[in-house]
Amino acid sequence: MIIRSTKELMARYNDVGQGDIFVGKLGAGELKSFLLVDLLERGVCCLPSPLSQIISGSKVVQALLLNQWMLPNTLVISRRKNLIDAIGRYNRLGIQSVITKEDRMHCGFGIRKWDSIETLYSFMSMSQASYPFVLQPFMENVMDIRVVAAGDYIEAYARHNPDNFRMNMAAGGSSSPFLLDEEKEKLCRAVMERGGFPFAHIDILIVSDGKYYLSEIALDGGIKGAGIGRVELDKKKEEVIESIIKRRSYSN
pLDDT in tens, 24-61: 988 756 678 899 999 999 999 999 999 999 999 899 99
How many CA atoms are closer than 13 Å to the CA of 81, on its beta-carbon side?
A: 0
Which of residues 105 and 85 earns the better pLDDT score? 85
What distance in Å separates the CA atoms of residue 228 and residue 179, rounded to the nearest whole number? 15
Axis-axis angle for helices 80-93, 117-124 (nearest 10):
170
Query: Rounded mean pLDDT of 8-26?
Result: 93
> What are the backbone angles phi and psi of residue 119, rounded to the nearest 5°?
-60, -45
Q: Is the pLDDT of residue 252 over 90?
A: no
Query: Rounded mean pLDDT of 135-141?
Result: 94
pLDDT by residue (tens digit) across 184-240? 999 999 999 999 999 999 999 999 999 999 999 999 998 988 999 999 999 999 999
Q: Is the pLDDT of residue 171 over 80?
A: no
Q: Can you say whether the dihedral through the CA atoms of 202, 206, 211, 215 is positive or negative?
A: negative
Q: Is the pLDDT of residue 70 over 90?
A: yes
User: Are the C-beta atoms of 73 and 137 separated by less than 8 Å?
Assistant: yes
3-state secondary structure of 51: helix
Total Cβ atoms within 10 A of residue 152: 8
What distance in Å separates the CA atoms of residue 252 and residue 231, rounded to the nearest whole number? 32
Q: Where in the chain is the domain with CATH 3.30.1490.20?
A: 72-137
Q: Is the pLDDT of residue 128 over 60?
A: yes
3-state secondary structure of 172: coil
User: Are the C-beta atoms of 202 and 185 separated by less than 8 Å?
Assistant: no
Domain 72-137 of CATH type 3.30.1490.20? yes
Structure confidence at residue 251 (pLDDT): 64
Which of residues 161 and 228 earns the better pLDDT score? 228
* Strand pairing category for 174-177 and 153-160: antiparallel
Q: Is the pLDDT of residue 66 over 60?
A: yes
Task: Quickly state the pLDDT bin for 95 (edges 50, 70, 90).
Answer: very high
| Fold entry, domain 141-241 | D-amino Acid Aminotransferase; Chain A, domain 1 (3.30.470)
User: Are the C-beta atoms of 215 and 146 separated by less than 8 Å?
Assistant: no
Q: Where in the chain is the domain with CATH 3.30.470.20?
A: 141-241
